[in-house]
Amino acid sequence: MTYLQLVNAVLRRLREDEVTTVDESDYSKLIGDFVNDAKRLVEDSWDWTALRTTTTITTVVGTSKYALTGYGVRSKIIQVHNETNNRIVEQQSLPFIRNVSLQSDNAQGTIQYWAIDGTDTNGDSQIRFHMVPNAVEVMSIYGVKRTGDLTTDSDSTLLPVNPIIQWAFSYALRERGETGGQSAAEQAVFAKEDLTNAIAQDAALHPEETIWNV
């Protein structure tokens, strides 16, 4: 569903006229802000299947740090796989990698560990490897890439849209103070139920992540 469609879905629930562009009025812009607030809430609530993607990094000899383009700081790495050597690369803390790098005087070799090490000038997270690669290796980064705000009418989201609409409606009710006798608190309950159901449905696709065995 597009940004404009999401805004109009909220406007209809508020008994307001639909718009032809999100920037049509001050009120439609406000609803657009609420839609983005709701989108961020839904997006951060679960590692959605629709947001999972694989990014490939081809290492450069002697370089240990690489930007994860498009990942920002809200995204998540689930697994790092060395395609060249066909092995899983273990995650470690950044202090651990710094310590072993100092102890080995930044020795070069096959990559063994990874950690997140700050952000670049674009605000994207950076991944640091140890050891420093001494050959070109292809690293497969599997993770959840969360996106930025919707900005143009045609921007769309792959997230379940009903929780977004219901949460944006809840925010609009809180700002307005009333609509047909329904309170913002009542609407928040419905929004939470929609989000819970959407997470449960998506989580069923990844039972290995939600079932723990002793």
At residue 208, the pLDDT reads: 86
Please report the sign of the dihedral spanned by the C-alpha atoms of residue 186, residue 192, residue 194, residue 196: negative
At residue 181, the pLDDT reads: 61
| Least confident segment among 1-5, 107-111, 140-144 | 107-111
Give the separation between CA 136 and CA 85, rounded to whole angstroms.
Answer: 11
* Of 180 and 58, the one with more pLDDT: 58
pLDDT over 60 (residue 35): yes
Q: What is the mean pLDDT of residues 167-187?
A: 84
pLDDT over 90 (residue 107): no
Closest CA to 87 of 53, 127, 114: 114
At residue 189, the pLDDT reads: 94
pLDDT over 60 (residue 167): yes
At residue 176, the pLDDT reads: 84
Please check whether residue 125 is in contact with residue 72, taking contact to mean a CB–CB distance below 8 angstroms: yes
How many Cα atoms within 13 Å fall on the side-chain side of residue 174? 12
Amino acid at 29: K
pLDDT over 60 (residue 179): no
At residue 184, the pLDDT reads: 87
- pLDDT tens-digit readout, 36-85: 999 999 999 999 999 999 999 999 999 999 999 999 999 999 999 999 99
Number of helices (H) and strands (E) in the chain: give both, helices first.
5, 9
Give the separation between CA 182 and CA 100, rounded to whole angstroms.
Answer: 59
Amino acid at 58: T
pTM (2 d.p.): 0.90
DSSP state of 2: B
Q: How far is C-alpha 205 from the geometric centre of its chain's CA atoms?
A: 18
Give the separation between CA 47 and CA 18, rounded to whole angstroms.
Answer: 32
Mean pLDDT, the chain, integer: 94
pLDDT over 80 (residue 212): no
At residue 177, the pLDDT reads: 73
pLDDT band at residue 105, thresholds of 50, 70 and 90? confident
Please check whether residue 138 is in contact with residue 111, taking contact to mean a CB–CB distance below 8 angstroms: no
Q: What is the mean pLDDT of residues 138-160?
A: 97
